[in-house]
């Protein structure tokens, strides 16, 4: 059976995490997959954030096989570097705590596409992207579209921390990423430098996820 790790990256915002998990369960079909659940809750010292309550909620759920609860802030880079090294599956659904799935998505067919096409490093789920977003899509993006049965994937210029299915081996090659304020940029630079190829589900303009507005605090 195909296997997948779901890594959820949290920062002590229980309300956001609950909503993210609600829509993950409601709209993402995991059937036909062996799933391993992992979560990190990076410590953030801010009066609006309650790591203790969030971590208690995570434990009470009984969903996650592996939890990482650092007692001091690790930052985005530090958490990414640590969590991907705990993965034991070939594929990962990368999911931060403040994203809502808007449409039904079945993951097994997408992983089967990646199994058959080793050049595909990731399949990302986008917010609304248009042709005007030149930093993401090429001007001739229809030529970058590939048909796989009922699914269309569009090759993109960029990498994302939107909800994304990543090939674990490629992510591990891109690590470590810099543990700094712009460590997300470091991750994208490393993946690009390795010559990996990023794909988006659907055509430009299709919307699969929405970014929720949580507390912006701490070094994450």
pLDDT at 12 over 70: yes
How far apart, in whole angstroms, are the C-alpha atoms of residue 86 and residue 187? 18
Task: Sketch the domain layout of the chain as residue ranges.
Answer: 2-211
* Whole-angstrom Cα Rg for the chain: 17
Q: Are 167 and 117 in contact (CB under 8 A)?
A: no
> pLDDT value at position 140?
64
Q: Residues 139-168: pLDDT tens digits?
A: 666 668 899 999 999 988 788 889 999 999
Give the per-residue pLDDT at 85: 97
Q: How confident is the model over 196-211, as a mean pLDDT?
A: 91
**pLDDT, tens digit, 9 for 90 and up, residues 185-196:** 899 899 999 999
Per the CB < 8 A criterion, the answer to whether 146 and 155 are in contact is yes
Residue 182's pLDDT band (boundaries 50, 70, 90)? confident
Instruction: Identify whether the C-beta of residue 128 lies closer than 8 Å to the C-beta of residue 208.
Output: no
- From first CA to last CA, the distance across the chain in angstroms is 35
Spatial separation of the C-alpha atoms in residues 36 and 109, rounded to whole Å: 18
- DSSP classification of residue 144: G
Q: Is the pLDDT of residue 62 over 60?
A: yes
Judge whether residue 219 has pLDDT over 70: no
Indicate the DSSP class of residue 216: -
Q: What is the pLDDT of residues 104-123, one digit of tens each?
A: 999 999 999 999 999 999 99
Residue 128 contacts residue 47 (beta carbons within 8 Å): no
What tokens appear for 6 in the block? Answer: 């779901």
Q: Give yes or no for a contact between 43 and 10, defined as CB atoms under 8 angstroms apart.
A: no
How would residue 184 be classed by pLDDT, with cut points 50, 70 and 90?
confident
Q: In 3-state terms, what secondary structure has residue 160?
A: coil
**Architecture of the 2-211 domain:** Alpha-Beta Complex (3.90)
């Amino acid at each position: 059976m195909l296997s997948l790790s779901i890594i959820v990256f949290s920062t002590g915002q229980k309300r956001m995490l609950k909503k993210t998990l609600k829509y993950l369960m409601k709209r993402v079909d995991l059937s036909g997959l062996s799933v391993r659940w992992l979560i990190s809750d990076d410590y953030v010292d801010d009066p609006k954030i309650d790591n203790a309550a969030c971590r208690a909620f995570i434990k009470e759920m009984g969903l996650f096989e592996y939890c990482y609860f650092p007692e001091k802030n690790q930052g985005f880079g530090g958490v990414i570097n640590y969590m991907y090294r705990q993965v034991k599956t070939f594929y990962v659904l990368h999911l931060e705590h403040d994203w809502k799935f808007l449409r039904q998505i079945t993951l097994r067919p997408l992983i089967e596409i990646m199994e058959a096409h080793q050049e595909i490093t990731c399949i990302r789920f986008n917010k609304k992207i248009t042709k005007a977003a030149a930093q993401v899509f090429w001007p001739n993006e229809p030529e970058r579209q590939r048909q796989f049965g009922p699914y269309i994937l569009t090759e993109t210029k960029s990498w994302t921390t939107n909800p994304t299915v990543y090939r674990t081996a490629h992510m591990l090659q891109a690590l470590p990423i810099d543990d700094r304020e712009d460590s997300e940029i470091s991750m994208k630079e490393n993946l690009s430098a390795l010559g990996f190829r990023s794909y988006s589900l659907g055509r430009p303009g299709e919307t699969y996820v929405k970014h929720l507005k949580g507390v912006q605090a701490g070094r994450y």
